[in-house]
Amino acid sequence: MKKILVSACLLGYNCRYKGDNCKNEKALALSSEAELIPVCPEVLGGLPTPRLPGEIVGDKVLASNGDDVTEQYLRGARLALEIAKNNRVALCVLKANSPSCGKGKIYDGTFSGTKTEGNGMTARLLLAEGFEVITEEEL
């Protein structure tokens, strides 16, 4: 059975910055065709739940209070990549717009809700390593 790496929040895990989830029925339905491997890169990187929201500003990830949380995001991205490699996942389904998991569009770093083109830290790393990455919006 193939394996799919999935953002844990899409599977109903309460790991988002607000302490809630983004349970997605299409992501959950993938379990009928594959083994789902849940990951939350932000938690893997050592950030608590709940936590302040983060956005990518230049080459850093900043929390809404200005704290630099880049290292935690990078640590989580590396661990998610290791999990993807170790499980030989066929696909990665990540949370849209997230500074970790977003693909194609992310929040622009102004904490105003404005989106811009770009990829989150984990999506960048997975894509660079040749993994197929989509968001729940593409399911």
pLDDT digits (tens, 9 = 90+) for 29-81: 999 999 999 999 999 999 999 999 999 999 999 999 999 999 999 999 999 99
Q: Which residues of 19-49 are buried (b: 16+ CB within 10 A; e: fewer)?
A: eebbebeebeebeeebebbbbbbbbbbebeb
DSSP state of 109: S
Q: Which secondary-structure segment (H or E) carries 137? A: none
When the pLDDT of each residue in the chain is averaged and rounded to a whole number, the result is 98
Q: What is the pLDDT of residue 64?
A: 97
80 and 89 Cβ atoms separated by less than 8 Å: no
Q: What is the pLDDT of residue 125?
A: 98
**Distant-in-sequence, close-in-space partners of 65: CB < 8 Å, separation ≥ 6:** 52
Q: What is the pLDDT of residue 81?
A: 98
The domain locations on the chain are 3-138
Q: What is the pLDDT of residue 9?
A: 98
